[in-house]
Structure 1
Amino acid sequence: MQKVKDTLPVYNICTIKGSDHFHDDIMAEPFSLYLQKHPNLHRPHGHSFYHLLLFTKGAGFHTIDFERFPVEVGQVYFMIPGQVHSWEFEGELDGYVVNFSEELFHSFLSDDHYLERFSFLGGVTGENIVTFNESELKEAIQLLSSVVNETQVTRPFTKDKVRLLMLSLFILAGRSENNKNKAGDVLKPGLQLLFRFRRLVNQHYSEYKLPKDYAEMLSITPNHLNTLCSNLLNKSAGEIIRERIVLEAKRQLVNLDASISTIAYSLGFTDNSYFTKFFKKYTNLTPEEFKKSFNGY
């Protein structure tokens, strides 16, 4: 991890897992042990890897991409590379934490976009949290306990066993009553198209800011795209694009050493004053005010 004064830490998996883990692409531990090893991770930080945490004990709050959520027993949250989070926990905490690289499943699955079938792995805050019922929680604990055991040793087919266990957990979360309307129907054409749109926005938000640009990439009309977004998300395509730009602006603004003009340019704004007006319109704060408020985040 590269440390720069007043810059948000972004951890890679090697930094987090330490030398007592045998596998480069994944680490898994009981959460209480993880907290003992990394007492400063409650402060705002980002990851270059996927991260999930299942709570089996505890209270307090966790914040993901500037949205605050209460901790609940049976809750699991999923984060993708690039998201920012912090913790405000209360009392004794336990559960399971798993960090894994983007490459873990690449050679295992023929579909490079398979994980995107699960909406909780789409990087959309609020959709990345699942609360298991009692029977689901019991199964999730069994799966994650097995993942922890497998990652503590090296033996034949360990990584494949871990992949199968993780995919079983994803399917369990996708089938959960709490999440059934978000993940279980992802093979429907409309949802497939929506996921493709979101993926394109994640790739091109700094270049293309109009729905017609994405509609052209998807080989559909702008009206079709807007209708799709409205029916499935109650938002226009333009709102989804603007929300992604604002989120990225927030992520970059918490790096306190970065100048406003540099951030504006990286987001495709050639006029710094227009970026300021854009940001304030959707957050009620100027970029400078948001930077100052970050110390309280």
Structure 2
Amino acid sequence: MKTIPILNIAQFEKEESLSDFYSNDLKNHLLKNKEIFHRPHKHDFYLCVFFLKGCGLHEVDFNSYTVSPGSVFFLMPGQTHYWKFDKQPEGYIFFHSQDFYEFHFSNKKLQQFPFYYSYNNPPYIHLTVDKIYGLKAYFNEVNLEFHQNLPFNKQKIASLVDLIYIDLSRLYVDKKTRYTSSTPIYLQTLSALEATIEEFYKTEKSAKFYAKKLNITAKHLNRITKTTLNKTTTGLITERILLEAKRLIVHSDNSLSLIGQSLGYDDYAYFSKVFKLKTHKTPLEFRKEYRL
């Protein structure tokens, strides 16, 4: 069964000593990867892009976002995205594995940062002019350090990335994004739920299954998802199934019945019914409309 291309750090130019981290000037990065960025693809790493010039469109999992100077985007492993630019962009890009960050900060997790809390949180922030220049200095220093072979450069890069994430988190929370009033326990449980859904969504559709996996009641799990996301547990499971269905319907040439089977629906008619109930289109209508 054909799938969406998944890129990894090893495919990009890198220092051998930094196989779990990559940084580049955005203009150079896009030039070297001109055959990739405009086509839908996934990554198996965390990615951060900072735009200083240019404009265009960034589509992430069927949601479109405007690119302009001051835009910062965050992507987590597994998200499907592509870029379409109207004007030549400039800025910085870096990406890294989860281990790269958490090795240097053993008492911290990437999920502590609000843009990495959940796939339901917006993957971007737009900086005002007065905030751009401070962040630009950090990104530039990361890029310079990456392309030099200096002692302790990995440690310095990790520290700079941490500072970038801290400053961006403060600005992100100021925008009143989700979870600002949620407790740490609720956020940890939500993160665990999303990871568990990611593992089992193709075969398990019941909220009770996930509650049992997390050792809590289905009622309490539903309270957590309603408090943090204003969604039910069942709603989150269905959203994940539909997202993968959309990815495969649009970005692969597999038959629609085979796509349904891969998501746990042996009866295509039922799969089509569920899909239409949520999207108001049949799988075939969705494929035709999106490709047009």
Against the structure 1 CA distance between its residues 7 and 219, is the aligned structure 2 distance closer, same or farther, given a 3 Å change threshold? closer
Query: Which stretch shifts more, 224-233 or 234-243?
Result: 224-233
Secondary structure of residue in 1 paired with 2:90: strand
CA RMSD of aligned residues (A): 2.6
CA positional deviation for 1:117: 1.7
- For residues 57-84 of structure 1, the C-alpha deviation after alignment (integer angstroms, 9 at most, x for no partner) is 1222110011111113222111112211
Measure how far apart 1:156 and its partner are: 1.8
1:28 and 2:23 equivalent?
yes
Deviations 1:224-256 (A, max 9, x none): 222222222221121111101111122223342
**How far apart are 1:273 and its partner, in Å?**
2.3
Q: Distance in 1 between matches of 2:151 and 2:178?
A: 36
Task: Determine the structure 2 residue equivalent to 1:221.
Answer: 217
Of the candidates 60, 63, 68, which is equivalent to residue 59 of structure 2? 63
Matches of 1:234 and 1:145, distance apart in 2: 39
* 2:6 equivalent to 1:10: yes
CA distance in 2, matches of 1:240, 1:232: 12
Q: Is the 8 A contact 2:115 2:122 kept in 1?
A: yes
Structure 1: distance between partners of 2:191 and 2:6: 26
> Distance in 2 between the 1:282 and 1:198 partners?
20
Gaps of 5+ in 2: none
Where structure 1 has 5 or more consecutive residues not aligned to the other structure, the ranges are none
Contact 1:253–1:263 (8 Å) recurs in 2: yes
Deviates more, 1:143-152 or 1:219-228: 219-228
Paired residue for 1:149?
144
Q: Which amino acid aligns with 1:47?
A: H
Contact 1:115-1:121 within 8 A present in 2 as well: yes
Distance 1:37 1:149 in 2: 18
Per-residue CA deviations over 1:10-53 (Å, capped at 9, x if unaligned) read: 322222x2367863212211212222222232222222222221
Moved more, 99-108 or 80-89: 99-108
Q: In the alignment, does 2:123 pair up with 1:163?
A: no
**In 2, Cα distance between equivalents of 1:245 and 1:138:** 41
Give yes or no for the alignment of 1:292 onto 2:288. Answer: yes
Q: Go from structure 1 to structure 2 and tell me whether the alpha carbon gap of 1:21 and 1:125 turns closer, same or farther (over 3 Å shift).
A: farther
| Number of aligned residues | 290
Distance 1:157 1:240, change over 3 A: same
| 2:160 counterpart letter in structure 1 | L
- Output the CA distance in 1 between the equivalents of 2:57 and 2:24: 20
Identity of aligned residues (%): 32
Contact kept, 8 Å, 2:3 with 2:251, in 1: the verdict is yes
* 1:249 and 2:245 matched: yes
Check if 1:173 corresponds to 2:168: yes
Of residues 117, 134, 146, the one that matches 1:139 is 134
TM-score (normalizing by structure 1): 0.86
